Amino acid sequence: MKKSELRARQAPLKEKYKTNPEEGEYTLHVEGKLGEDIACFVPTDAGEAEAGLHPATGGDGSQACSGDMLLEALVACAGVTLKSVATAMEIEIGEGTVRAEGVLDFRGTLAVSKEAPVGFKSITLNFELNTAASGKRIEKLIELTERYCVIYQTLKNSPELNTSVTIQ
């Protein structure tokens, strides 16, 4: 996609959101179904994913790990955002790879240690890009990718999180 095509697609949306800010707010929904044993079935655009325990918590590795799915969401969002920003900046990128690596201490989620955190201790996002763009332009590209990547910003600035339960 060229810069002009991207602008043409986004211009009416930007105008709509400027004129009616409430139109820019969407609520995304995902509903999982609890499965047999320890599993949750989650619909994705690529088909249903069966999530289960990571091998480090007693799983056999045959099911998707929610931690991996979080990193996959980060990689997907960062990759799409980077390509969008590169298009807007007219930076040509040939092949490229986006990689996320997260460090977990499973002692926390298994209640082995109250001092061990439950969740990722750190996440590193890495881009390998085939481009002739200058170092300064790449710095700006990454800065804007971080700024506009929904998953990156959600992880960096935790949103308000609520829980509810309905008994049937």
> Domains along the chain?
3-156 (3.30.300.20)
pLDDT at 106: 95
pLDDT at 153: 98
The letter for the amino acid at 86 is A
Q: What is the DSSP letter of 90?
A: T
pLDDT at 36: 84
DSSP string, 25-66: --------EE-SSSEEEEEETTEEEEEE--GGGT--SSSEEH
What's the whole-model pTM score? 0.91
From first to last of its 168 residues, the chain has per-residue pLDDT tens of 899 999 999 999 999 999 999 999 999 999 999 988 899 999 998 899 999 999 999 999 999 999 999 999 999 999 999 999 999 999 999 999 999 999 999 999 999 999 999 999 999 999 999 999 999 999 999 999 999 999 999 999 999 999 999 999
Phi and psi for 41 in degrees, rounded to 5? Answer: -95, 125
Distance CA 86, CA 79 (A): 10
Distance CA 9, CA 12 (A): 7
